Structures are given as C-alpha cells and as structure tokens.
Amino acid sequence: MIRFFADMIFLFFFLTLTAPMYLLFNHWDRTGQEEKRTQVAQRMVMWAFHHCLNIVGADIIVDGKENIPEDTAVLYVGNHSSYYDILCSYYATPHGTGFFAKQEMGKLPFLRHWMTYINCLFLDRTNIREGMKTINRGTEYLKKGFSMTIFPEGTRRQDEDPHEFKEGSLRPALKANVPVIPMAISGTADIFENNKGYVAKPATVHITFGEPIYVNQLERSEQKHLGSKIREEIIEMRKKHKTIG
C-alpha cells in the first residue's frame, strides 16, 4: 500500500508543481511551436514515469526497440491489462508518444493538461461521431510526425489473451500511411490489479516491439483484418514472455 500511495503523492506533486509550465506550452502552441512543446513535455513526462516505476519497483525488460523506425511517426498497437500499461509502454518507447485514452481521463484536472501537451486524445466510445473526430485528429498528429499509441481492445482485460481488436481503431495508421508497431505487454497487472486492495508490488514487466507493418504494402483484404493480424502477433510475443519468466 505504501508504494501505491507514494506513487500517487509523487504524481500529485509533479502535476501541481509543474503547472506554471502551462504558460510556456500554451505560448509555444500559439506561436506555431507545437513540435517544441511536444518534445519538452514528453521528456518531462518520461522523467516522471521513470520515477513512478522506480517507486513501485517495476523492472522493465524491453525487446525489439531496433524495430522502431527512427525517421517517421508510428502507431504503437498494444494489449491492455493494467493502469500501468501507459507508464510502462511510454517509458519503453524511444522518445515518448501520445495516447488514445478513454474520455473519463480528460475530466481529471492537471492530468488532462499534461496528457494534452504530449498529444493524448480522449476517445468517447459512446458517441460514434465524436469518436471518429478523435480518430481523425490522431491521423493528423501522425501526419505531422507525432507517434501515437492505441489499445484496440477498448478497455483493460486481465484474461489470458487479449480480446478482439477493434478494426476501426487502426484507421489512423491506414489514413496517415505510417508504420504500425505491434507492442506486447506482460506483467503490468502484477504491479497493481492482481493484488488485493490498493497495493502496488514490485514486478517484472516485459515489453516487446514487433517488426513494423507497412500498411501501404498490404493487400486491401489484409488491411481490412489488420487488427486480427496484430492481435495474433501480440499473443505469440506474450507466449515468449512466459518462457523468459
């Protein structure tokens, strides 16, 4: 319990003490320096997440970073089983990434601002029209060169294998014509969700980045079932996590 609340206290102080940065970030947005704002905000969030993971004792083992292209934005597509998926996967990426997050997270003060500054988008899954607007905004971020992450299951699952991936959630990669990076995550639920009460425990987390999928090289039939293809790749990568231990 101490680790969990220590994490919450650290995040609270980070979010509140860095509030004056809003003025600078907003200035950069108004003066067309969106890229500069994103880079600075993502570096600061990377630092904060690194300390959060140290507090709970998470050991992050990352494989496949060489599969991430350096000269283009990508859409990371991962399975989702824990609140800590975002912290761990963000820390595992080379430079940070925006996320498609559930709409409820956009209602939290301070957190909402920082998520916006690192290019997170809040997805309303109950309103198809608004959801499509958010997906289209994500497409624009990718076209501008900002990488994004999405969890196509739509919600957190603690089942053995990830549930069906929603094919429509992968439209940003198809419309922006950017590579898709399958991202297999294992062990994050052992930090928090698999424990009783508000208890965070040290755990080993495995994250593997699969080989990039260049959507423009796929047949139309393959593009139509891209989510299923990525899901199967993630299942296979998670099986390898189990053999590592």
Q: Can you tell me the mean pLDDT for 80-84?
A: 91
How far is CA 16 from its chain centroid? 23
Which residue in the block uniquely carries the two structure tokens 């603690």?
158
Query: Which residues, including other chains, have CB under 8 Å from residue 78's CB and lie 6 or more apart?
Result: 85, 89, 149, 150, 151, 182, 183, 184, 185, 234
For the stretch 165-210, pLDDT in tens is: 988 889 999 999 999 999 999 999 999 999 887 788 999 999 999 9
Question: Mean of the per-residue pLDDT values for the chain?
Answer: 92
d(CA 70, CA 66): 9
Q: Which residues pair with 167 in a beta bridge?
A: none
pLDDT at 234 over 70: yes
pLDDT of residue 245: 64
Asked if 151 contacts 230 with a C-beta cutoff of 8 angstroms, the reply is no
For the stretch 8-35, pLDDT in tens is: 999 999 999 999 999 999 999 999 999 9
Q: What are phi and psi of 24, to 5 degrees?
A: -70, -45
Residue 19 CA neighbour count, 13 Å, CB half: 8
Reference 207, options 44, 45, 58, 99; nearest CA is 58
pLDDT of residue 76: 98
pLDDT of residue 106: 82
Range with lowest mean pLDDT among 3-17, 57-71, 85-99, 155-169: 155-169
For the stretch 117-167, pLDDT in tens is: 999 999 887 787 888 899 999 999 999 999 999 999 866 666 677 888 988
Neighbours of 190 (CB within 10 A): 19
Residue 50: Cβ-neighbour burial (10 angstroms; 0-12, 13-18, 19+): middle
Q: Can you tell me the mean pLDDT for 91-120?
A: 92
State both tokens at 130: 């608004």
Asked if 201 contacts 188 with a C-beta cutoff of 8 angstroms, the reply is no
Instruction: Determine the number of helices (DSSP H) and then strands (DSSP E) in the chain.
Output: 9, 7
Reference 80, options 123, 48, 126; nearest CA is 123
Q: Can you tell me the mean pLDDT for 70-95?
A: 94
Nearest-5° angle of CA 112, CA 51, CA 10?
A: 55
Asked if 209 contacts 234 with a C-beta cutoff of 8 angstroms, the reply is no
pLDDT of residue 239: 93
Q: What CATH number labels 2-244?
A: 3.40.1130
pLDDT of residue 156: 62
Reference 54, options 3, 122, 115, 124; nearest CA is 3
Strands (E), 37-78: 58-63, 75-78
**Max CA separation in the chain (angstroms):** 52
d(CA 118, CA 38): 5
d(CA 106, CA 112): 5
pLDDT of residue 67: 97
pLDDT of residue 197: 77
pLDDT of residue 52: 95
Domain boundary assignment for the chain? 2-244
pLDDT of residue 169: 86
